[in-house]
Structure 1
């Protein structure tokens, strides 16, 4: 579940239009600016049948149209505020999740209370026009009693904390709201880890020295102790500008000390230890200092060695290609400069020289464009032949049938949501085997999901904990059962989906004599009945 505030330009939102969009009623073009925002949640011509449950809260009237007028009157009573008077909140659920009306009411009440708008007037409606249910809540920011415009501060953090609590309370799919146990870096370090799945220098520094430094500061250490702790891992603490940085002794990598921990800022350290004292200019470089490594190793040392080797080959090939391209460009520039000089020495008239120079400029631009096309083709071939990120290397190895690479991709993946027409899993899904049906040429995603697209239009996704049928078909059912039989060997399969899909799954399992059992007693009984029916009876010989 995700709760997100929809921000509008300052003072540009309008409760009337927003309410109209939420409820699907539509408004006339002659509306004032004050009636626009609500129309965004109502708008019936485009979304007939898209609106589900509608709820009015803290208004005298329960009729949505009268409630909108009441809210607009309340907003008009505030003459001083120049800020936006409407708070638009959207709560999105995972595809396949259908909370009950009582759950939706509790979720709305808790989220509005979390941002301090629990007693304010509001209108909400559940929208059904997407693959996932989403609840629109239009809240009047004008306090109905004091008539002050209340602006929730740090509402994003409060909404994330409330979502975590509500997911546990109502048994909803748990979403990563930025509160994971592993504190991820931000900025360029986060980009590196997200793109390449390799540990950044900031993560290395945090893992190595954050805890020892905090412990040393708690024991009244001095500057020599701080520098000694740094030197153990080949790091240097030095001044840069008005602050401090932690640098790698064998490279130019450095991070601000305060990004590792606020306790390591210049202000904090000097207040504890006195004036800054530099350490050794060149400390001993340790063997196990920072080096690019997988973010989630998971016994992939041999794979990573092979990746580093071929990546280095790719970098060398790309560097050589760019040198060749630069030399060809310089040669082309020199050749056309020589021909331009020859024109200036020729016996042509002034207009003839001008025309010849224009012709040479056109020829040069075409030659340079041809060289650029050649360079792009050459570099595209290099990009295809080599892998420059750890994730792309693992994807290629996994598609080729390497189960260790697939497990490494799935190591950091969150459990997939219930997004499909049907899904298969087992009680102890964490202990499932890794299976790749190479003959079906699956697509391997960055998170380790294998997507099988079948000839009859069906699609099956095999993720970390379950097998999802994204597009139902008979072939998709067979592939899903085959994967389930191999991945969850020895466990009963839990099947979710429509009654028609469950019947199809039982019939296919019996017809193919798959070595599986179903956790649903009714499905398992029907499978055994069909198996007995399909088993040929032995013929009795006549005496």
Structure 2
């Protein structure tokens, strides 16, 4: 499992109410929100608890740091724990971080391949009104994660802290976008050559041979690719910061461009964002993505120009109107005080008009950006897959490289008809290509290889799930899970006369016994009616 305190990345302090609103927003999905728990408050009602926590935070006037802690507990794929176990684990993490007795609201999310729990903790103690800021929390959290993995038999994850922050940044960027970052490309491809340069001109030559350029920006240096993507030199490696390079190479010098370096740079590979996974040929799909982004950028620019021109025209009209009013006031036969009052009225009207014009412009511009947003490769694939693009869905699923043992209740098979009909209305698709839809009253998670069934599924939905499985995998099915689930599946197949066989010999024998019992019951019933 992984436990992480999510840092706030904006200048403003986090809002507890805003965080809870995000955590409890179903986003149109029936399976996103699991159990919602309120701890150490006078009430279990969510709205009242939020007000209580907000009032507690407002009573501390001395704290200048953030008063809310956002802790996330994430479990490996296909590992599902009971609500009681999740509550016990949550309590242990809060005690370890020094939040025992602090108010908190926790929400279980199950809309991804990984079960995860969001915990919004009030860092202000409800009675002492002091703030608790845990120090070296990553060490405490890592130790506790290892203990919980052993106690609950979970998949063991490497919790060693990596010293190199750049590696964490690269992983975060590339995991979110799905394409290779400039930072990762430089570190993997040409960092050794860059660090070996003995002069500024040698450094410029090495960078030009890789399609890069180094520029001064602010108090530091940045590497810029031919496509315009830039990254701080110090984030690539600390030895490439401006102070380090100036100390080693002398005062900064601009590049002296030569034809020889230009010819050399044409022969080397230059940075181009490309999909990281190579298990499926994505060249055509990625070309479509780039074309769609280019078209969206052109539409966005056109809309921005139109909005800007409209704003400028309205501003000019407001200025002319105010100027005309001032001219009229100037020629009025009134005293100085009367003119002063009239001028103040005109000025107030002009300021009000300017505020309305600017607010309308910002609102329309935000709507235009939302209508044609910039999308990362994975975001575009996600939208395409939800729209029915099987190729995009296959690319998302190819990113799922989980090699551990698959646990839990699921139905699968050796055959796989990916385009088979029969699935319910799609509610959502995860970034790993797991399709989530409902069959009857049960939420099914289809990862392309098997249908995952929740432990609280109702038996009346099993017939529909089996029919979907037969269309997807054929008549020979693989059933995994606890004994109760397997028996319920076999009984549903017999009761609804679904022609299937099971890969598990014991389960197949149980199905046949149920069939014989059903036939025997029908025979006795028919004889009784005839008599």
Q: Give distance in 2, aligned partners of 1:444 and 1:382.
A: 24
Q: CA offset at residue 266 of structure 1?
A: 7.8
> Which SS does the other structure have where 2:190 is aligned?
helix
Matched, 1:525 2:509: yes
Structure-1 residue corresponding to 2:276? 295
- 8 Å Cα contact 2:300/2:369 also seen in 1: yes
Matched, 1:203 2:192: no
Q: CA offset at residue 491 of structure 1?
A: 7.1
Query: Could you say what the CA RMSD is over the residues aligned between the two structures, in angstroms?
Result: 5.8
Q: Give distance in 2, aligned partners of 1:523 and 1:100.
A: 30
Structure-1 residue corresponding to 2:410? 424
Q: 1:344 to 1:387 in 2, by over 3 A?
A: closer
Q: Give distance in 2, aligned partners of 1:184 and 1:6.
A: 18
Q: How does 1:234-313 map to 2 (within 5 A)?
A: 234-236=211-213, 246-248=223-225, 251=228, 253-256=230-233, 259-261=235-237, 281-282=256-257, 283-284=261-262, 285-286=265-266, 288-297=269-278, 298-313=280-295
Q: Give distance in 2, aligned partners of 1:327 and 1:44.
A: 54
- 8 Å Cα contact 1:458/1:472 also seen in 2: yes
Q: CA offset at residue 330 of structure 1?
A: 1.0
- 8 Å Cα contact 1:206/1:260 also seen in 2: yes
> Which SS does the other structure have where 2:375 is aligned?
coil
Q: Give distance in 1, aligned partners of 2:206 and 2:150.
A: 42
Q: Choose between structure 1 and 2 for higher RCO, CA contacts under 8 A separated by at least 6 residues.
A: 2
Matched, 1:353 2:353: no
Structure-1 residue corresponding to 2:480? 495
Q: How does 1:356-371 map to 2 (within 5 A)?
A: 357=346, 360-361=349-350, 364=353, 368=357, 371=360
Q: 1:245 to 1:381 in 2, by over 3 A?
A: closer
- Measured against aligned partners, the alpha-carbon deviations of 1:423-468 in whole angstroms (never above 9, x if no partner) come to 305599xx977567576234223342322145x5432222366533
Equivalent position to 2:210, from 216, 226, 233: 233
- 8 Å Cα contact 1:423/1:495 also seen in 2: yes
Q: Give distance in 2, aligned partners of 1:391 and 1:485.
A: 31
- 8 Å Cα contact 2:315/2:354 also seen in 1: no
Structure-1 residue corresponding to 2:394? 407
Q: CA offset at residue 362 of structure 1?
A: 7.8
Structure-2 residue corresponding to 1:58? none
Q: Give distance in 1, aligned partners of 2:321 and 2:83.
A: 76
- Measured against aligned partners, the alpha-carbon deviations of 1:371-390 in whole angstroms (never above 9, x if no partner) come to 448725xx646744676332
Q: CA offset at residue 394 of structure 1?
A: 0.8
> Which SS does the other structure have where 2:272 is aligned?
coil
- 8 Å Cα contact 2:3/2:142 also seen in 1: yes
Normalising by structure 2, we get a TM-score of 0.58
- 8 Å Cα contact 2:479/2:486 also seen in 1: no
Equivalent position to 1:323, from 305, 330, 337: 305
Q: 1:504 to 1:320 in 2, by over 3 A?
A: same
Q: 1:267 to 1:368 in 2, by over 3 A?
A: closer
Q: Give distance in 2, aligned partners of 1:247 and 1:405.
A: 31
Q: 1:434 to 1:185 in 2, by over 3 A?
A: farther
Unaligned ranges ≥5, structure 1? 8-40, 48-89, 116-122, 124-128, 135-151, 538-543
Q: CA offset at residue 334 of structure 1?
A: 0.9
Q: Give distance in 1, aligned partners of 2:347 and 2:250.
A: 67
Q: CA offset at residue 306 of structure 1?
A: 0.6
- 8 Å Cα contact 2:413/2:450 also seen in 1: no
> Which SS does the other structure have where 1:524 is aligned?
helix
Equivalent pairs counted in the alignment come to 418
Q: Give distance in 1, aligned partners of 2:181 and 2:6.
A: 33
- 8 Å Cα contact 1:460/1:469 also seen in 2: yes
Q: 1:243 to 1:323 in 2, by over 3 A?
A: closer
> Which SS does the other structure have where 1:345 is aligned?
helix
> Which SS does the other structure have where 2:80 is aligned?
coil
> Which SS does the other structure have where 1:311 is aligned?
helix
Matched, 1:458 2:433: no
Q: Give distance in 2, aligned partners of 1:365 and 1:244.
A: 40
Q: 1:177 to 1:448 in 2, by over 3 A?
A: farther
Q: CA offset at residue 321 of structure 1?
A: 0.9
Q: CA offset at residue 402 of structure 1?
A: 2.3
Equivalent position to 1:446, from 417, 431, 442: 431
Structure-2 residue corresponding to 1:141? none
Equivalent position to 2:491, from 488, 496, 507: 507
- 8 Å Cα contact 1:237/1:278 also seen in 2: no
Structure-1 residue corresponding to 2:315? 333
Structure-2 residue corresponding to 1:390? 377
Normalising by structure 1, we get a TM-score of 0.57
Matched, 1:375 2:364: yes
- Measured against aligned partners, the alpha-carbon deviations of 1:302-351 in whole angstroms (never above 9, x if no partner) come to 11111111111111111111111111111111111111111112255536
Q: 1:91 to 1:291 in 2, by over 3 A?
A: closer
Structure-1 residue corresponding to 2:451? 467
